[in-house]
Structure 1
Amino acid sequence: MMITTREVTYDVDGLNMIAHLAQPDSPGPWPAVLIGHDGVGLEEYQRQRADDLAAHGYLTLAMDYHGGEVFFNRPDAMLDRVMPLLANVERMQAVGRAALDVLLAQPGVDPNRIAALGYGAGGQIVLELARIGIAFRAIAVIHPAFPEAKTEDWTDVTGTLLMCTGSEDPLCTPQQVLTFGHVLQKAGVDWRVNIYGGAEHAFWARPRNPDGSATEGTNHTMLTVPGVSFHPKHTTRAWRAVLELFRETF
Structure 2
Amino acid sequence: MTKMTTRAVAYPADGVTMIGHLALPAGADRRPAVLLGPEGMGLSDVERRRADALAELGYVALAFDLHGGRYLSDPEEMLARCMPLLADSDRMRAIGRAALDVLRAEPRTDPDRIATVGYGTGGAVGLELGRGGANLRAIGTVNALTTGRPGEAARIRCPVWAGVGSEDPIMPPAQRDAFAAEMRAAGVDWRLTVYGGALHAFHHPPVDHPTVPGVGHHPVHARRAWRDVLDLLAECLPVTEGPGA
- Give your verdict on TM over 0.5: yes
Offset, 1:178: 3.5
Offset, 1:149: 5.6
226-235 or 199-208, larger mean C-alpha shift: 199-208
TM-score (norm 2): 0.92
Offset, 1:78: 0.6
Residues 45-64 of structure 1 mapped to structure 2, 5 A cutoff: 45-64=46-65
- Whether the 8 Å CA contact 2:5–2:25 is kept in 1: the answer is yes
TM-score (norm 1): 0.90
82-91 or 104-113, larger mean C-alpha shift: 82-91
Residues 8-87 of structure 1 mapped to structure 2, 5 A cutoff: 8-72=9-73, 74-87=74-87
Structure 1 vs Structure 2 CA RMSD? 1.4
Aligned to 2:93: 93
Aligned to 1:126: 126
> Quick one: distance in 1 between partners of 2:161 and 2:192?
6
168-177 or 6-15, larger mean C-alpha shift: 168-177
> Quick one: distance in 2 between partners of 1:119 and 1:28?
29
Amino acid at match of 1:56: L
> Quick one: distance in 1 between partners of 2:129 and 2:159?
14
Amino acid at match of 1:34: L
- Whether the 8 Å CA contact 1:149–1:180 is kept in 2: the answer is no
Q: How many residues align?
A: 236
Offset, 1:148: 2.4
Amino acid at match of 1:193: L
Equivalent residue of 1:80, what SS? helix
> Quick one: distance in 1 between partners of 2:140 and 2:198?
18
- Structure 1, residues 95-150: CA drift from partner, whole Å, max 9, x if none? 11111100000012111111001111111111111111102111100001513263
Among 209, 219, 224, the alignment partner of 1:237 is 224
- Whether the 8 Å CA contact 2:147–2:178 is kept in 1: the answer is no
For structure 2, list consecutive stretches of 5 or more residues without a partner in the other structure.
238-245
Amino acid at match of 1:110: D
Equivalent residue of 1:155, what SS? helix
> Quick one: distance in 1 between partners of 2:82 and 2:188?
28
For structure 1, list consecutive stretches of 5 or more residues without a partner in the other structure.
210-221
Identical amino acids, percent of aligned pairs: 48
- Whether the 8 Å CA contact 2:92–2:125 is kept in 1: the answer is yes
> Quick one: distance in 2 between partners of 1:147 and 1:178?
10
Equivalent residue of 1:133, what SS? coil
Amino acid at match of 1:40: M
Offset, 1:207: 2.0
